Amino acid sequence: AQSVTQLGSHVSVSEGALVLLRCNYSSSVPPYLFWYVQYPNQGLQLLLKYTSAATLVKGINGFEAEFKKSETSFHLTKPSAHMSDAAEYFCAVRSYNQGGKLIFGQGTELSVKP
């Protein structure tokens, strides 16, 4: 079975500091991995996705993630945090054999201090 684990339910950084949100996956087949962002009282917006084309994936708003098979990780980073980055972030893996459903991690709330 596929699964995703996000380490840290809450991460706090200062404005301008590096953002690092951790995601580890479990999958017996090459995974399709996603990062979504959810701003307060809004839906989920795709930040970026890994579909085996390149291990370093660049997304919107300056975010990027690196797929590391040896570490079964897909951590999300941004060099310099902005106040507007404060939100909930979800890592997800797409199921291969169950209708393509997304299996989500527990989410990480990012706070940005001025």
Partner 1 sequence: DTAVSQTPKYLVTQMGNDKSIKCEQNLGHDTMYWYKQDSKKFLKIMFSYNNKELIINETVPNRFSPKSPDKAHLNLHINSLELGDSAVYFCASSLSGPTQETQYFGPGTRLLVL
What is the closest distance, in whole angstroms, from the C-beta atom of residue 106 to partner 1 in the complex? 6
Amino acid found at 65:
A
Q: Distance between CA atoms of 5 and 23, rounded to whole angstroms? A: 6
- Residue 72 or residue 95: which is nearer to partner 1 going by CB? 95
Binding positions for partner 1, rule: CB under 8 A? 32, 34, 36, 38, 41-46, 49, 51, 88, 90, 94, 98-104, 106-107
- Residue 40 or residue 114: which is nearer to partner 1 going by CB? 40
- Residue 49 or residue 64: which is nearer to partner 1 going by CB? 49
What is the closest distance, in whole angstroms, from the C-beta atom of residue 53 to partner 1 in the complex? 11
What is the closest distance, in whole angstroms, from the C-beta atom of residue 80 to partner 1 in the complex? 26
What is the closest distance, in whole angstroms, from the C-beta atom of residue 10 to partner 1 in the complex? 11
Q: Distance between CA atoms of 111 and 11, rounded to whole angstroms? A: 6
- Residue 17 or residue 107: which is nearer to partner 1 going by CB? 107
